[in-house]
Amino acid sequence: MKILSLMTAVLVGAVLIYGTLDMPKWGDPHSPANTHVSPYYLHHSLEHTATPNVVTSVLADYRGYDTLGETTVIFTAGMACILLLRAGRKRRGKGDV
């Protein structure tokens, strides 16, 4: 079983490394990720949102609804934790009695 997992990990790693051979070089300022969409935000975020921090303006303004949904994710996870731990405590209490 361990050998099988190791073989799977090595195989997937080899495929991923094969995929990185076409990636742009590290720190290349002309890579597609750095030239395609992000210049728009760097150019316009100050006049659109009046915030010098571009990360903040994208997170809280352009993607504001996404951040709102993220709070739902955190809320759901917190509720799941609370319900799980409370249910466990109650069941164990019943078993002890």
Partner 1 sequence: MFEFIVGHYNYWMYVGLMMIGFYAMMAKRNLIKKIIGMNIFQSAIILFYISTSVKKGDVTVPILEHAHDGHGAHAVDIMHYANPLPHVLMLTAIVVMVATLGVAVAVTIMIYRRYQTLEEDEIIMSIRRG
Residue ranges in contact with partner 1 by CB under 8 A = 1-2, 5-6, 8-10, 12-13, 16-17, 20-21, 23, 25-29, 31, 33-34, 37-39, 41-43, 45-47, 52-55, 58-59, 63, 66-67, 70, 73-74, 76-78, 80-81, 84-85, 87-88, 92
Contact criterion met (CB below 8 Å) for 19 and 6:
no
In whole angstroms, give the CA distance from residue 58 to residue 36. Answer: 16
- Considering the complex, what minimum distance in angstroms separates the CB of residue 24 from partner 1? 8
In whole angstroms, give the CA distance from residue 29 to residue 6. Answer: 37
In whole angstroms, give the CA distance from residue 45 to residue 38. Answer: 10
- Considering the complex, what minimum distance in angstroms separates the CB of residue 4 from partner 1? 8
SS3 for 25?
coil
- Considering the complex, what minimum distance in angstroms separates the CB of residue 3 from partner 1? 9
